[in-house]
Amino acid sequence: MEQPTKLGQAGKALVIVVVVALVAYPLLGVIGTSLASQSDIITSNGLVLWPDHPNLDAYRTVFTGGVVTRALLVSLGVTLVGTLASLLCTIGMAYGLSRREVVGSRFILMTALFTMLFHAGVIPNFLLVKELGLYDTFAALVLPTMVSAFNLVVMRAFFMNLPEELYDAAKVDGAGDFRILVRIVLPLSKAVIAVVGLFYAVAYWNAYFNALLYLGDNDKWPLPMVLRTFVLQGQSLADGSVGEATSPQQAVQMAVLVVAVVPILLVYPFLQRFFTKGVLTGAVKG
């Protein structure tokens, strides 16, 4: 490969700086506004990058009322349980579909791919969830989206890239499919499992549409629903004590947004080193 020129390196550095600035500016604005006082918000026309009078009143307001705290716990539970269930189902299906000797594997794979192109629609899904007795339950936030066809294809491709000799050697030693999966395939697939797990976790954490459709009890709302209702629609979080808060409304809205974003920001750095390897290896067959 040719060595990059100084002009090329400067261009890449400029692009990186611009991208970082585009990402960091709104993030700093949200954090700064959540810490700002009313006078800081008025002076800065609503967007505070560096508050002159920083305080945590908005966060005290958010966590005092109980609405955000309850929604945060719901989102954590749904994300943890949903990600674990989705990984178990996806790993099992991907391993089965990666073995050519499995009868009907191609038909099942085509059926899964079909769901990427065609969707039943909101009304049939709602009727199905209601008929199964899942309406207004936390299971409705997990079961309808438990397996993603895209993640299934990525993981299947990764499993198919593993050397066939490993499977043959394990079978010669008397290992069954379950033991091969647990003792050989999974230890070699940490990268793709981490990436697919991150995809599932982000999807469950950010999902609000299923909650909007399938949950009638506000006490079961996950954090994205509270975020949508309070920040985007401007409705009050108050269930008593929150309505009497003295912190600025805009600061409270930004504090809710920070609470919703921070957990994923904390998880991502630990999985970043697996991201490129897992996606590229699982997406390329050869």
The C-alpha atoms of residue 149 and residue 42 are separated, in whole angstroms, by: 48
| Co-location of 114 and 219 in the same domain | yes
- Give me the CATH number covering residue 241: 1.10.3720.10
Residue 40 lies in domain: 1-55
User: Per-residue pLDDT tens for 257-283?
Assistant: 888 888 888 877 776 666 655 555 544
| Co-location of 31 and 161 in the same domain | no
| Co-location of 7 and 148 in the same domain | no
Q: Which residue has better confidence, 49 or 17?
A: 17
Contact 33, 47 (CB under 8 A): yes
| Co-location of 144 and 245 in the same domain | yes
Weakest-pLDDT range from 14-18, 204-208, 244-248: 244-248
| Co-location of 35 and 99 in the same domain | no
| Co-location of 193 and 230 in the same domain | yes
3-class SS of residue 161: helix
| Co-location of 82 and 35 in the same domain | no
Q: What's the token pair of residue 105?
A: 């594997």
User: Per-residue pLDDT tens for 149-199?
Assistant: 999 998 998 888 888 888 888 888 888 888 888 888 998 888 889 889 988
| Co-location of 65 and 8 in the same domain | no
Long-range contacts of 195-199 (CB under 8 A, 24+ apart): 195/154, 195/271, 195/274, 195/275, 195/278, 195/279, 195/282, 196/87, 196/90, 196/151, 196/154, 196/155, 196/278, 197/83, 197/87, 197/271, 198/267, 198/268, 198/271, 198/275, 199/148, 199/151
User: Per-residue pLDDT tens for 110-133?
Assistant: 888 888 888 778 888 899 999 999
**Looking at residue 152, what is its pLDDT?**
92
Q: How many domains does the chain have?
A: 2
Give, in order, the Cα–Cα distances in Å from 133 to each of 91, 123, 126, 164, 214: 27, 16, 11, 44, 11
| Co-location of 23 and 139 in the same domain | no
The C-alpha atoms of residue 126 and residue 143 are separated, in whole angstroms, by: 12
Contact 210, 140 (CB under 8 A): yes
| Co-location of 16 and 123 in the same domain | no
Backbone angles phi, psi at 53, to 5 degrees: -130, 70
